[in-house]
Amino acid sequence: MSAIATETTKAAESTRTVHFRIKRCDGPGKPSRWEVFDVPVPAHANVISCLQWIAANPTTADGKATTPVVWESSCLEEVCGACTMVINGKVRQSCSCLMDEYAPNDGDTITLEPMSKFPVIRDLWVDRSRMFDALKRVRAWVPIDGTYSLGPGPMEGPKESETRYKLSECMTCGCCLEACPQYHLETDEAAWATSFIGAAPISQARLFNEHETGAVLKADRLEALMGPGGINDCGNAQNCVQVCPKEIPLTESIATIGRAATFEAFRRFFQSR
Ligand code: SF4
Ligand code: SF4
Ligand code: FES
């Protein structure tokens, strides 16, 4: 039996006390502080269920009454990306983070922090809207008139469908942006508009460029990615692909869009002569 399996079996046997060290912040622009909570953790608990216990019992380990910790979650099955946070130094979804793996023993400590590349709204809840703005920037949609029936869409081969299905699994969780050394938290709107867009929107541009109908906006998407903050700002560190919970081939998408942007630049150059 592996060491993890042994620890997991041990953890499953009884409720244990785990120290939750949580980075807290009362609101945008407010200073942050650490608070520790001692949580009775039953077998098979996940981080969210422990946060729910803390919300119902907002008293720190040293007996001080405090406010309930705030976080965001929705699907609870690693589909929406809302519960993403930094757990023991690594960005991931908290709903799928099992305590039996992360803190199997009585007296273990687990550390929770909000993602650092997004503005904090409160405690572990961050504002991911800059990622959704980036999807608008690269026109990540298929432009169709939905006011009347257009009949069946274009046929897609199994190979293309397999490639695009994988790309479509992106849940805009932000893990790839959190891990990227080129992606920064910009509070200034003007600086944000020209700062690196990150791997997820680049990969979504590829998803829609490779759709037969979506391809009509290909030149617009490439234009957005050829400018400041676009594809050329990627330093190819490949952290993004390592942390993506959906195992999306982000570096392959970056290379594909990089090649398409080069062709587009040549096309424009020769067209203008
Ligand atoms: S390859 Fe590196 S620089 Fe480029 S998006 Fe991924 S993590 Fe960021
Ligand atoms: S590409 Fe992966 S890590 Fe990045 S936002 Fe999408 S699902 Fe999350
Ligand atoms: S709550 Fe949706 S991914 Fe965790």
**Each residue's pLDDT tens digit, 215-226:** 999 999 999 999
- Which two structure tokens, joined as six digits, stand for 116? 């650092």
Average pLDDT over residues 52-70: 98
pLDDT at 237: 85
Kind and range of the H or E run holding 21: strand 16-25
Which residue, by CA, sits nearest to atom 1 of ligand 2? 200
Kindly list the protein residues whose Cβ atom lies closer than 6 A to any atom of ligand 3: 73-76, 78-83, 93, 95
β-strand partners of 125: 122
Pairing state of beta strands 32-41 and 16-25?
antiparallel
pLDDT at 153: 83
> To which residue do tokens 């991931």 refer?
92
Average pLDDT over residues 51-64: 98
Q: Could you tell me the distance, in angstroms and rounded to a whole number, from the CA of residue 173 to the centre of ligand 3?
A: 9
- Residue 71: which of 23, 37, 132, 19 has the closest Cα? 23
pLDDT at 207: 98
DSSP 27: S
CB-ligand 1 contact for 187 (6 Å cutoff): no
Give residues with Cβ within 8 angstroms of 17, minimum separation 6.
38, 39, 40, 41, 106, 107
Residue 11 has pLDDT above 70, yes or no: no
The answer to whether 91 and 240 have CB atoms below 8 angstroms apart is no
User: Which CATH superfamily, name and number, covers 128-271?
Assistant: Alpha-helical ferredoxin (1.10.1060.10)
For the chain, the farthest-separated pair of C-alpha atoms sits apart, in whole angstroms, at 75
Q: Give 7's pLDDT tier (boundaries 50, 70, 90).
A: low
Kindly list the protein residues whose Cβ atom lies closer than 6 A to any atom of ligand 2: 81, 170-176, 199-200, 203, 244-246, 248, 250
Residue 2 has pLDDT above 60, yes or no: no
pLDDT at 193: 78
The answer to whether 160 and 206 have CB atoms below 8 angstroms apart is no
Average pLDDT over residues 12-38: 93
CB-ligand 1 contact for 253 (6 Å cutoff): no
- Residue 234: which of 196, 263, 185, 205 has the closest Cα? 196
Cα-trace Rg, the chain? 22
Cα dihedral across residues 40, 45, 50, 53: positive or negative: negative
- Residue 109: which of 152, 61, 67 has the closest Cα? 61
- Which two structure tokens, joined as six digits, stand for 33? 């502080």
Domain residue ranges in the chain = 3-125, 128-271
Which residue, by CA, sits nearest to atom 2 of ligand 1? 237
- Which two structure tokens, joined as six digits, stand for 248? 């999306």
- Which two structure tokens, joined as six digits, stand for 24? 């807290």
CB-ligand 1 contact for 25 (6 Å cutoff): no
Residue 211 has pLDDT above 90, yes or no: yes
Q: What is the side-by-side strand order in the sheet with 16-25?
A: 32-41, 16-25, 109-113, 84-87, 90-93
Tell me the pLDDT tens digit for each residue of 147-202: 888 888 888 899 999 999 999 999 999 999 999 999 999 877 778 778 999 999 99
Pick the CATH number of 3-125 from 3.10.20.30, 3.40.50.2300, 3.40.50.150, 3.40.50.12160: 3.10.20.30
Residue 115 has pLDDT above 70, yes or no: yes
- Which two structure tokens, joined as six digits, stand for 145? 């008139």
pLDDT at 132: 95
From the CA of 46, the nearest ligand is: 3
pLDDT at 6: 54
Which ligand 2 atom sits nearest the alpha carbon of residue 250?
A: 1
pLDDT at 10: 53
Pick from 250, 251, 252, 257 the residue to mutate for probing ligand 2's pocket: most ligand atoms within 8 Å of its CB. Answer: 250
Whole-number average pLDDT of the chain = 93
Pairing state of beta strands 109-113 and 16-25?
parallel
pLDDT at 151: 87
Which ligand 1 atom sits nearest the alpha carbon of residue 236?
A: 1
- Which two structure tokens, joined as six digits, stand for 27? 């609101």
Q: Could you tell me the distance, in angstroms and rounded to a whole number, from the CA of residue 131 to the centre of ligand 2?
A: 10
| pLDDT above 70 as % of the chain | 95
Which residue, by CA, sits nearest to atom 7 of ligand 2? 170
DSSP 6: H
pLDDT at 51: 98
- Residue 7: which of 103, 81, 90, 92 has the closest Cα? 103
Average pLDDT over residues 1-7: 53
- Give one word for 146, left, alpha or beta, with left for phi > 0 and alpha for psi -120 to 50: alpha
